[in-house]
Structure 1
Amino acid sequence: MNPVLRLEDLHTTIDVRDGVVHPVDGVTLDVGRGELLGLVGESGCGKTMTALSILRLLPSGGRIASGRILLGDDDIAAMTPAELREVRGKRIGTVFQDPMTSLNPSLPIGRQVSEPLELHSTLSRRELHERAVAMLELVGLPDARKRAEDYPHQLSGGMRQRVMIARALVCEPELLIADEPTTALDVTVQHQILELIDDLRRRLGMAVILVTHDLGVVAGRADRVAVMYAGKIAELTDTRRLFGNPRHPYTEALFEALPENSAESGEKLYSIPGLPPDLREPPAGCRFAPRCRYASEECVEKEPDLRADVAGHEYACFHPVGSAGVDEPSAVVRVHERAGAPASEPAAGAPLLEVENLVKDFPVTKGAVLRRRTGTVSAVAGVSFSVAAGETFGLVGESGCGKTTVGRAVVGLDEPTSGHIRINGTELTSLHGAELRQRHRDTHLVFQDPYASLDPRMRVGAILAEPLEIHGVGSRAQRSARVRELLGEVGLPADAAQRYPHEFSGGQRQRVGLARALALAPKLIVADEPVSALDVSVQAQILNLMNDLRERHGLTYVFISHDLSVVRYLAQRIGVMYLGKLVETGPAAEVHGNPRHPYTRGLIDTVPVADPWAARQSGGVSGELPSAISPPSGCRFRTRCPFAQEICAAEEPVLRPFGAGHEAACHFPLDAAREHDATKVYQGENG
C-alpha cells in the first residue's frame, strides 16, 4: 500500500542572528495507514522540528530548504497558504505537548472541538455542537455534554489532553501527529491517553506519528521507530528489532541510560558524554562521533549513509553494535535482562527526619473582597514516615495526592495545620528567629522546573552566592571560592558563574539547582520531580550526580516523583500517597516487586516499560482523582478500586505490616483481594 505520508530527503533551515540552523537535514521516512511511527531522540535532535515541517508551522526564519513532504500524492512543501489551510485540521490532526497553552482560555471546549469542522464543513451550529459532544464522548471525557460548556481551566490535565485529541480528530484526518502528548502527565493519565490514541488509530485507520523521548512509550505501542540525532535519522526499523538488536551506538546508549536497567544492581547509569553538536555548523563526519565510545578517525572525516544488513532495519554507522544479519530479535539478549548485584538495603539507625500525623488543609474561599470560606481542601491528612540519615526516601503518587505539599511542609514553605516534623529529634513546627534560620540551612528544596525557579536577571554566580549572603556566610572572596567549588561539585565549569539561566540546557539548569541546594551544606534535600521533564540521557546524568552527592556528603533525600521506575532506582524505601494519605510504604524492592495495595499495583501497571515483549498491562488505575474538598468516606481509593466492598466506605483502613518495614492500608490487600474476588466468581457461577 502507498504510505499516507512520505518524507523524501527533507531539509529544513532556520535563519538566526548568527547563522543558519539545520534542524532537519536529509530525513527520509514514511508512515502507512493504521501504522504508529515513533520518533525518538534527545531534545534538540530534530524530532519536533520534523513534525512542524510536515505541518509547515515553522518558527520565524524557518523554511523548507529542499525535499518533498508527500501526503498521498500532494506535496505539502509546495503548497500555497490557501492549500495548507485545507490540509491542517482536515487531513492532518495535531496534538501538542501542553494542552493548556494550546487551548483558547476564552472559549468553551465544545466550541473549540467543533472549530476545525466549522472551517472545513457546511454543518449548522447545532450539528457542529452535536458532533463535538460525540467526539468528546469518543475520547472518554466524563459527562461530555455538560463538560462541552466548560472552559479549559475547569478541567484536569488529562481531560484537557482528551479535548486536544477530540479537536484533532473531529474532521477524521488521515494523519495524526502527537508531539510529546503525555510528557507533563502522571503515569495513570499518560496510560489512559496512550490507550486512547492506540484505540482510535486502529478504529479509524489513521496513520500516527508519535514524537517522544520516552522509550517505554514507543516500546509498547509503536509499529516502527525512527531514532533521530542532530537532525538526521540514526536508525529506523520495526520496534522489536530496535529493542532486541540496536545497531547504532546512539540507540544502544539511550537504552543503557534507562533507570530500570540498573534498579536491581544499583550500578551507575550509563550517561552519554558531551552534548549534541551545534546545528549552525554541523561536523563533517558522523554527528555522534564526538560522544561515541566506538568512534574512529573514519567517523570524524566521513559521514555514514543509512544502510541495512536485514531488510527493513536501516542504520547510519561505520562501526555498528549488535549482531549483523539477525532477523529474529528475540534471539538477542536484551539490555535490561543483565544480572547484577542485589540492590542496596534501606539505611539503618536513628532517623534524621520524622514526620508524624502531618495534616495540611487549605481554605476554599469565595468573593473578591470578603473572601468567605466555603470549604477546605484536605491536601495532607495524617501522614507519618521517617527517613534515616544517608537514605533516599521516594514519595510517589498522582498529581493532587499531596506529595509536593508534604515536601513543602518539611522544608518550611508551608506551615502544617497540625502534626510534627522533626530533624535529629528537634521539633521544626515551633521554631522562631535564629532557630528557624538554622532550619532553612539544614533543609533545601530542589524544584521540578529549574528555569522557573532561577531568577532570569541574575547570573549563576549570584544565584549560588545568594543563600550564603542571606545567612552571612564568609567574606566576598570566600563566597566566590564557594561558588566555584559548588560548580565543580555538579560538573559545571567555573565560567558558568558569569552566564544567565537561559544560556544553559535543561540538564545544566538542574545542576545549577542542585548546586544552590548544596550551598549551605544541608542535612536534607527534598527533590520535587527533578528529572520528570528531562531526556533519558540527561536524566541518567542527574540521577548519577544525586547518588554521587549523597555518598560524598552524606546527604538524605526525600525524592518526589510519579515515575516508579526512577524512584525504584534511586530510593532505598518508597512511600505511596493517594489523596492526602500514605497508603503503602516499605523497602523499594519489596514495594515494587510485591505491592500489597491495589493503588500501588495500578501505578506499576501503568508505567511504560522499554520492552516490546512485555505483556501490555490492561489494568492500571482508571477514572479521575476525586476532589480533595470532599474526599470519599472510608478508604479514599475505594471509588477507583476494583476490590472495594461495603466496609471500604464505612471504615478507613490503617497501615498494617506485611513483612519487615512493609506496611499497607487496605481492607483487602492484594493477595487476599485476589482470593476474595475468585471466591465471588466461583460462588456466582455455582449459584
Structure 2
Amino acid sequence: MSSWEGSPLAPLLDIEDLRTEIKLRRGVVHAIDGVSLQVNPGECLGIVGESGSGKTMTALSIMRLLPSGGAVVGGRIVVDGTDIAALPESAMEDVRGNLIGMIFQDPLTSLNPTMSIGDQIAESVRLHRGASKREALVRAVEVLGLVGMPKPAERVTNYPHQLSGGMRQRVMIAMALACEPKLLIADEPTTALDVTIQKQILELIDSLRQRLGMAVILVTHDLGVIAGRADRVAVMYAGRIVETAPTEALFKNPRMPYTEALFEALPEKSAVDATTVKRLYNIPGQPPDLTVPPPGCKFAPRCRYARDECRAKEPALQAETTAHLFRCFFPVGTPDEVRDPTTPFVSVPEERPEIPVTPAAALAAEGRTGNGHAADWQSGDPLADAPTATVPVSGAAAADRLAAEEELAEDSPVKAGQDGSLLTVSRLVKNFTVTAGAVLQRKVGQVSAVADVSFAIPAGATFGLVGESGCGKTTVGRLIVGLEKPDGGSIVIGGRDLASLSSRERRRQARLVQLMFQDSYASMDPRMRVSTILREPMIIQRDGSRAAQTKRVNTMLDEVGLPAAAAERYPHEFSGGQRQRLGLARALMLRPSMIVADEPVSALDVSIQAQILNLMLDLQRDYGLTYLFISHDLSVVRYMSNTIGVMYLGKLVEVGPALDVYNSPIHPYTRGLIDTVPVADPKLERAKEHQGVQGELPSAVAPPSGCRFRTRCPRAQDLCAAEEPPLRQFTGEGHRAACHFPLREPEPDLN
C-alpha cells in the first residue's frame, strides 16, 4: 500500500455531490448524478463500470473538458485546496497539465498527427513553465526517458504514426507528466493493448506514482488491472457511485449486486473445476437512458434480486464500515462486521446450465451437427429459416471438459491433414517487403511475419491463437480468409487449397470462411445503413433475390440479438457491443463453415464481452461453426477454445489442448504470457509483480538466430542461439512445444 494510508493530510482531490449534464436536442443527459469521492496524496483510486456508467465523464468533469453541450451544474471539485468547478476557463488552462495531467484513452486520435512528439510534449512546458523552445525540447527528451522510451533523443523528431501503440501511450504519459502534476488521471490507458505492453504501461504508471508522489485515478473496465494497481475502488453505474471500498475488501466481499455481476462475467471466474466451465453471467438488458432515468434503484431493471421496494425508491449510499459503502436495499455477500476476514468471497448465483466445452464432441453426442438446421445452413438456400438463439445451452450434450477433450484428441489440430479437420494449414510462410525511397522504392529488407506455421482445426471446434502484437497471428487470419497471399505453404479448407486459387476462384469460396474484424466500426462504411452492410456479401455473391436477402438480414439480426429496426440505422448509432454483434452478423450472412474472429472482444467492457462470447458459443452450437479465435488474452482464449496455439515472432511455439496449455505450459513464453494477464484477485496479482514476459519484442526484419524468443527468455543458453528448436510432442493429447529447455520434459514414450 502507498504511504497515504493512515495519513492525517487533507485529500488532494475532494469531489462533493458532483452533477454534470449534457444538453442534447432530444433532452438533457444526467451524465453524473451526485458523485462524491476523495483521492489522497500518493493514492491510486480505481474507477470501474460498464461503458456509459460515467467513468470517463467523471474524469472529463475534473478536467473541465466536457463535450459540446456539457457542463458541471452542481457540486464542488476541490484540487489542492482550490475549487476548480468555479474557476473561469482562463484559470483552468493553468490547471490542466500543470496541476492535473491526463492520459487519454486513444493516443492516436489524441496526438496531433502534424507535429513531432517532441514539439507536442514541449508545448506544455513552454505554456506552463515559460521555458524557451530549446529548454522545452530538453525537458521533452528527459520525460521520454523517464517513461522508458527507447532512444528518446532520437524519438523526439518522430511523428505519432511512426510509433507503435505502446510507444504512443508512453508519449501520452510523458505529455501528462511534463509539468510534474500532483494528480494524474489515466482514462483506459491500456485498452486494446496486448498483455505485455499493458503490463509495462501499468508498471510505469505505478513506479512514477511512487517516485513522484502523485495521486492517480485509474479509469478502466478491466477488473484485473484494478486488482493489481489500485488502493481503493469506486464502482460506477448510471452516473452514480454504487459501491466503494479498499481493493481487497471489494474483491473479497462485494455487497452491491452490480459489482457481483461484473465479477461473474469474467472468463477466469467461469471454471467450476479443472474439467468444467460455466456459462458466463450475462447482465440482462442495457444501462438506462440517462435522459429519462428510471425511478428507484437505477440497476433494479437488470438486477436478479430486485423487489418492489427497489423500483419504488432509490437507496442511499450506506456503510457497514467507514471504508466500505454501497447503494443497495438487499446487499449480497456477508456483512463486514460478522464476516471472517480470512475467508475469500464466494458468489452463489442462481443455478445456470454448464456449457459443453468441446462443441463438436457435444453435438456428436446428440447425434447431430448444429441444431437441426446445419444442413440448411450449408446448403446455400437463401430462404432457409435460421433458428432463434433460444436453444438450451447443454442438456444431454453437457459432457464434462475432460471427456470432451479426449474425444477430440483423435482429431488433434496439431496433426494437420487428418480426416475430420475442416482447416489444415501446412508450412505457411508470409514475408512483407520493406522498401526505402519515395520514388524508386528499393527493397531494403523483409518482415518475417509468418514462418513455417502448421496446424489444423476439426469441424465444429475452436482453435485459439494467442501472442503479442507483431507475433503474426492476425496475418495468419488474413491469409486464411484470402486478404493476403502466402509466399509458401498450403491452406486447405474442405479439401481445396485456398492458397493456390486465383482471385476469382477465391471469391467463389467466400462461403467457406469469413472474417470478424477487430475494429467493427472501422470495417463498416459509415454512409451505409445496416441493411445494406449486411446485404453486401450476398449482393457480391449474387445470392438470392432482394426479398430473400432482406429476409436473411432480418433473420440474422434476430440471431445476434438486435431488433429488426436496427436495419435502418447507421453504424455510429450503435454501441461498441452492438457493433460487434453486427460484425458477427455480417460474417454469418453467407453461411460460412468457419469464422476467423480477430480480437473480437479486446476493447469491450466485461459485461459486453460476456454477451459476445456467449453469443459466439450459441451460434457455434446452433450451426456447427468452426472458429479461429485470435486474441492476446489467454483467459478469454482458454474459455472459448478447444485447442490453443501460441505464436511468437512468426513462429508457432506451443500448441495443445486448451486447459493443458493454460494450466501446464511447456514453453517459457507461454508461461510468461499467462503470468502477464491481469487476474481479478489482488493478492495473486500483486504477488506476480515481477513475473511475465520481460523486454522488448525484437524486430521481425532481423529476427534472432536459433530460437526467436531467446533474447527475452530466462532459460536461454548457447544452444538456443545456434539451433532452432523443433515443434516436438510432449504428451499423448497432442501437446507440442518448440523449446530446447522446456518447463517440463516429454513423457518417456514420446521421445
Give the TM bin, normalised by the shorter chain. Answer: over 0.9
Find out whether 1:148 has 2:156 as its counterpart.
Answer: yes
**What letter is aligned with 2:480?**
V
Q: Which of 165, 173, 178 does residue 157 from structure 1 map onto? A: 165
Q: Provide the rounded CA distance (Å) in 1 between the counterparts of 2:631 and 2:443.
A: 32
Confirm or deny: 8 A CA contact 1:459 1:498 kept in the other structure.
yes
In structure 1, the partner of 2:98 is: 90
Higher mean Cα deviation, 202-211 or 332-341? 332-341
**What letter is aligned with 1:662?**
H
In structure 2, the partner of 1:333 is: 345
Q: How does 1:138-537 map to 2 (within 5 A)?
A: 138-263=146-271, 264=274, 265-326=276-337, 329-335=341-347, 342=401, 344-345=404-405, 347=408, 348-349=410-411, 350-432=420-502, 435-537=505-607
Q: Which of 97, 113, 118 does residue 110 from structure 1 map onto? A: 118
Higher mean Cα deviation, 399-408 or 104-113? 104-113
**What letter is aligned with 1:272?**
I
Q: Provide the rounded CA distance (Å) in 2 between the counterparts of 1:336 and 1:403.
A: 38
- Cα 1:144–1:366, aligned 2, differ >3 Å: closer, same or farther? closer
In structure 1, the partner of 2:79 is: 71
Q: Which of 43, 60, 70 does residue 35 from structure 1 map onto? A: 43
CA offset at residue 336 of structure 1? Answer: 11
Query: Which runs of 5 or more residues in structure 1 are unaligned?
Result: 674-687
Q: How does 1:561-576 map to 2 (within 5 A)?
A: 561-576=631-646
- Cα 1:187–1:393, aligned 2, differ >3 Å: closer, same or farther? same
Give deviations 1:98-156, integer Å, cap 9, x for gaps.
Answer: 22222233333233323322222244444433333222222112222232333322222
**What letter is aligned with 1:333?**
F
Higher mean Cα deviation, 581-590 or 357-366? 357-366
In structure 1, the partner of 2:729 is: 657
Give deviations 1:344-395, integer Å, cap 9, x for gaps.
Answer: 5273442110000101111122233333222211111111011111110000
CA offset at residue 641 of structure 1? Answer: 1.5
Secondary structure at the counterpart of residue 353 of structure 1: strand
- Cα 1:335–1:191, aligned 2, differ >3 Å: closer, same or farther? farther
CA offset at residue 161 of structure 1? Answer: 1.2
In structure 1, the partner of 2:741 is: 668
Confirm or deny: 8 A CA contact 1:446 1:527 kept in the other structure.
yes
In structure 1, the partner of 2:619 is: 549
Secondary structure at the counterpart of residue 560 of structure 1: strand
Q: Which of 632, 641, 651 does residue 704 from structure 2 map onto? A: 632
Secondary structure at the counterpart of residue 21 of structure 2: strand
CA offset at residue 657 of structure 1? Answer: 1.3
Q: Provide the rounded CA distance (Å) in 2 between the counterparts of 1:571 and 1:440.
A: 24
CA offset at residue 324 of structure 1? Answer: 1.6
**What letter is aligned with 1:310?**
T
Give deviations 1:507-536, integer Å, cap 9, x for gaps.
Answer: 111111111111111111100001111110
Give deviations 1:449-478, integer Å, cap 9, x for gaps.
Answer: 111112222222222222222222222222
In structure 2, the partner of 1:677 is: none
Confirm or deny: 8 A CA contact 1:69 1:76 kept in the other structure.
yes
Secondary structure at the counterpart of residue 522 of structure 2: helix
Q: Which of 629, 633, 641 does residue 713 from structure 2 map onto? A: 641
Q: Provide the rounded CA distance (Å) in 2 between the counterparts of 1:113 and 1:300.
A: 50
Give deviations 1:61-112, integer Å, cap 9, x for gaps.
Answer: 1111010000021001001122212211111111111222222333332333
CA offset at residue 433 of structure 1? Answer: 7.4
Confirm or deny: 8 A CA contact 1:458 1:500 kept in the other structure.
yes
Secondary structure at the counterpart of residue 424 of structure 2: strand
Q: Provide the rounded CA distance (Å) in 1 between the counterparts of 2:348 and 2:251.
A: 10
- Cα 1:153–1:457, aligned 2, differ >3 Å: closer, same or farther? closer
CA offset at residue 328 of structure 1? Answer: 5.2
- Cα 1:588–1:617, aligned 2, differ >3 Å: closer, same or farther? farther
**What letter is aligned with 1:449?**
D
What CA RMSD, in Å, does the superposition of the two structures yield over aligned residues?
Answer: 2.0
Confirm or deny: 8 A CA contact 1:98 1:184 kept in the other structure.
no
In structure 2, the partner of 1:676 is: none
- Cα 1:478–1:67, aligned 2, differ >3 Å: closer, same or farther? same
**What letter is aligned with 1:318?**
F
Higher mean Cα deviation, 143-152 or 307-316? 143-152
CA offset at residue 335 of structure 1? Answer: 4.6
In structure 1, the partner of 2:3 is: none
Higher mean Cα deviation, 343-352 or 312-321? 343-352
Q: Provide the rounded CA distance (Å) in 2 between the counterparts of 1:100 and 1:431.
A: 38
Secondary structure at the counterpart of residue 310 of structure 1: coil
**What letter is aligned with 1:306?**
L
Higher mean Cα deviation, 477-486 or 23-32? 477-486
Secondary structure at the counterpart of residue 667 of structure 1: coil
The TM-score with structure 1 as length reference comes to 0.95
**What letter is aligned with 1:62?**
G
Give deviations 1:228-265, integer Å, cap 9, x for gaps.
Answer: 00100110111111111111110000000001111452
Higher mean Cα deviation, 25-34 or 662-671? 662-671
Q: Provide the rounded CA distance (Å) in 2 between the counterparts of 1:538 and 1:89.
A: 33
Q: Provide the rounded CA distance (Å) in 1 between the counterparts of 2:522 and 2:135.
A: 43
CA offset at residue 434 of structure 1? Answer: 7.1
**What letter is aligned with 1:111?**
D
Confirm or deny: 8 A CA contact 1:575 1:584 kept in the other structure.
yes
- Cα 1:480–1:199, aligned 2, differ >3 Å: closer, same or farther? same
Q: Which of 25, 35, 51 does residue 33 from structure 2 map onto? A: 25
- Cα 1:103–1:478, aligned 2, differ >3 Å: closer, same or farther? closer
- Cα 1:106–1:500, aligned 2, differ >3 Å: closer, same or farther? closer
Confirm or deny: 8 A CA contact 1:260 1:336 kept in the other structure.
no
Confirm or deny: 8 A CA contact 1:97 1:184 kept in the other structure.
no
Secondary structure at the counterpart of residue 682 of structure 2: coil
CA offset at residue 203 of structure 1? Answer: 1.6
CA offset at residue 577 of structure 1? Answer: 0.6
Confirm or deny: 8 A CA contact 1:177 1:208 kept in the other structure.
yes
**What letter is aligned with 1:624?**
E
CA offset at residue 329 of structure 1? Answer: 4.3
Q: Provide the rounded CA distance (Å) in 2 between the counterparts of 1:158 and 1:278.
A: 35
Higher mean Cα deviation, 321-330 or 405-414? 321-330
- Cα 1:489–1:375, aligned 2, differ >3 Å: closer, same or farther? same
Confirm or deny: 8 A CA contact 2:333 2:345 kept in the other structure.
no
Secondary structure at the counterpart of residue 499 of structure 2: coil
Q: Provide the rounded CA distance (Å) in 2 between the counterparts of 1:208 and 1:391.
A: 44
Confirm or deny: 8 A CA contact 1:357 1:419 kept in the other structure.
yes
In structure 1, the partner of 2:19 is: 11
Higher mean Cα deviation, 580-589 or 471-480? 471-480
Give deviations 1:628-650, integer Å, cap 9, x for gaps.
Answer: 11111111111212222222222
Give deviations 1:277-304, integer Å, cap 9, x for gaps.
Answer: 1111111211111111111111111111
**What letter is aligned with 1:661?**
G
Q: Provide the rounded CA distance (Å) in 2 between the counterparts of 1:415 and 1:335.
A: 49
Secondary structure at the counterpart of residue 537 of structure 1: helix
Confirm or deny: 8 A CA contact 2:39 2:215 kept in the other structure.
yes
